Structure 1
């Protein structure tokens, strides 16, 4: 019996060794995989009043399965070369923006602020990157063991910091520093040229958001610093909130010298529709409350895509704004050339479409 027991033991040992030999290298790696490394990074939350709050969050480094809720962070990940980690995006990014091209091959998990949590959980992500997510849904994901990281991508002053945060998370700091540094360099150029302007030299600006007629940008919005840096005065700077709704009469009384309007895709962007943009501009200029403003009387009404202003590609878009406000100071600058260079350098794309109107 003792010999029989030893024989059985040897048989089981040989069987185990054979089974191990039959496992693929991938399976063995999964069996012996070390726990995923986590790091602590700072995320930034902007309150409705425009105040910035800092939160420390624990996230994987480097994540392998990422759900991205928002077109701006999806664009950032493309520029950083880590888009292959993304397993799903939101409806707007996939069906409306449809760029970068990789988002078209991914499933959608619903709206960026109220996604389908069950769909997200089924994908087993190790990170959710969000810019608009309902806090209650974020808590639900975190309780399920899925870390979340807030990346706006459209809060202008935070963009370089958010890019460098992603560089830490995805372990691509060199690329992130180059990307953020490129943006900062062009923004500094604008600020250097306008810093000596007196208040009387600064035109008053009404910047209408994409949230509807008479919705504008106040402190804490992405447009506020762009107006300041370009040497303008935001007529809504004293409204106390980032995205105030104002009245036609209020704007008329402020008498803006320049009007800028956000226009979304497809009219403004990769495809672009010059005829439609001309119609939108004409409609703005024909609004009764705006007809007698300095901006309309002097034809200083401009349309721009949000994707090249309050965005990473705002490095190019800010030059358009600066030329509209101070053409004499930026006569030598070609914003289109900067946009073309940035697309090629960081996204591997050629410039096409219509991003501003009028184009000259």
Structure 2
């Protein structure tokens, strides 16, 4: 018997003991059926801020599967980038991509990274189809999976986490997070549902206030507009914005005279250096954020408005609008809108618990401020 025959026979003997991963077939948020050979070990994130869900599922190292990502986290949420870079310095070496919506995604670069899957947010789908990315990537064996935390967060968040759990082979972890998410949402929704005669304060949410000199970007029937509804408020901009995002003019804010104003904020120094935006996020300077929030209320569209006159003005981290942590924003809004109904609800404690149970980085405050420092 030759040596080659002996080696071949040994390999054949061992083959039955080798376990191959079972194929994974799932239906993504866009309703597309996608099949992978097994759990994805090499992933391209279509947006850097998708690390917020990867951190939940791959808590020991949320970057272990990431072979490429869009270059937005450092620019759009630099405090979060710094927080993760402090513990996982290797993120500086991850190849970055341009965006799908602006047509700067590099397919050849993606192919060279040999990913098992590309995860995209649902809002990128139209641009992806228009540019023919889906077809081009399919030809080179790179499937796309769509998830959504932005357009319909309370419809799609749990399902999106379940989908990513399947992709990562972390079904149990996704289920654990979804149970936490549902329980924390119920702390608001159960109370609101039990109020048959609930008086809903009129709330104006200014999207990224101070990002530009124009007034005023806001939310219609979705995203933070829905956050307000779920938290027991009435979204002022809903009658004027038919979709998820849009603009209302300053005169309309004055005419509507909202009871409360909420500005979404973040550190957008990379986009608008020295801008009037309210810098929020982990380790944010809350005193500076409060000063900048007060300055925004000096604009013509806000002077004399009830919310400003009564100090019912708040700012909250913009990135809650596009990640699985939206329930934190709902809790914070609920305590602003109905402090009498939620005397024991502490959104900061919930956010700290989220970090302790699910995230690999420590909780650091800085996610919201109010002009009335005593606001519950």
The answer on 1:127 being equivalent to 2:117 is yes
Deviations 1:52-110 (A, max 9, x none): xx333334430111001224432111111273111121111245431644444422123
Answer 1 or 2: higher relative contact order, Cα 8 Å, separation at least 6: 2
Instruction: Flag the 1:92–1:357 CA change in 2: closer, same or farther, 3 A.
Output: same
The answer to whether the Cα contact below 8 Å between 1:197 and 1:231 also exists between their aligned partners in 2 is no
Instruction: Flag the 1:144–1:353 CA change in 2: closer, same or farther, 3 A.
Output: same
Moved more, 199-208 or 132-141: 132-141
TM-score computed with the length of structure 2 as normaliser: 0.79
1:1-360 to structure 2, matched below 5 A, reads: 14=3, 37-45=22-30, 54-81=31-58, 83=62, 84-97=64-77, 98=81, 100-101=84-85, 102=88, 103-111=91-99, 113=101, 114-131=104-121, 132-133=123-124, 134-135=127-128, 136=131, 137-154=133-150, 155-157=152-154, 158-197=156-195, 201-210=199-208, 212=212, 213-219=215-221, 221-238=222-239, 239-265=241-267, 267-308=279-320, 311-358=323-370, 360=374
Greater C-alpha radius of gyration: 1
How far did 1:140 drift? 2.6
Moved more, 114-123 or 131-140: 131-140
Q: Alignment partner of 2:29: what SS?
A: strand
What is the rounded CA distance, in whole Å, between the counterparts of 1:195 and 1:15 in structure 2?
74
What is the rounded CA distance, in whole Å, between the counterparts of 1:115 and 1:209 in structure 2?
27
The answer to whether the Cα contact below 8 Å between 1:302 and 1:357 also exists between their aligned partners in 2 is yes
Moved more, 302-311 or 179-188: 302-311
Give 1:3's aligned residue. none
Instruction: Flag the 1:130–1:286 CA change in 2: closer, same or farther, 3 A.
Output: same
Structure 2, unaligned runs of 5 or more: 269-278
RMSD, aligned α-carbons:
2.9
User: Between Structure 1 and Structure 2, how many residues are aligned?
Assistant: 332
The answer to whether the Cα contact below 8 Å between 1:309 and 1:316 also exists between their aligned partners in 2 is no
TM-score computed with the length of structure 1 as normaliser: 0.82
Deviations 1:140-196 (A, max 9, x none): 322322101112333421111111111222222111011011111111110111124
Structure 1, unaligned runs of 5 or more: 1-9, 46-53
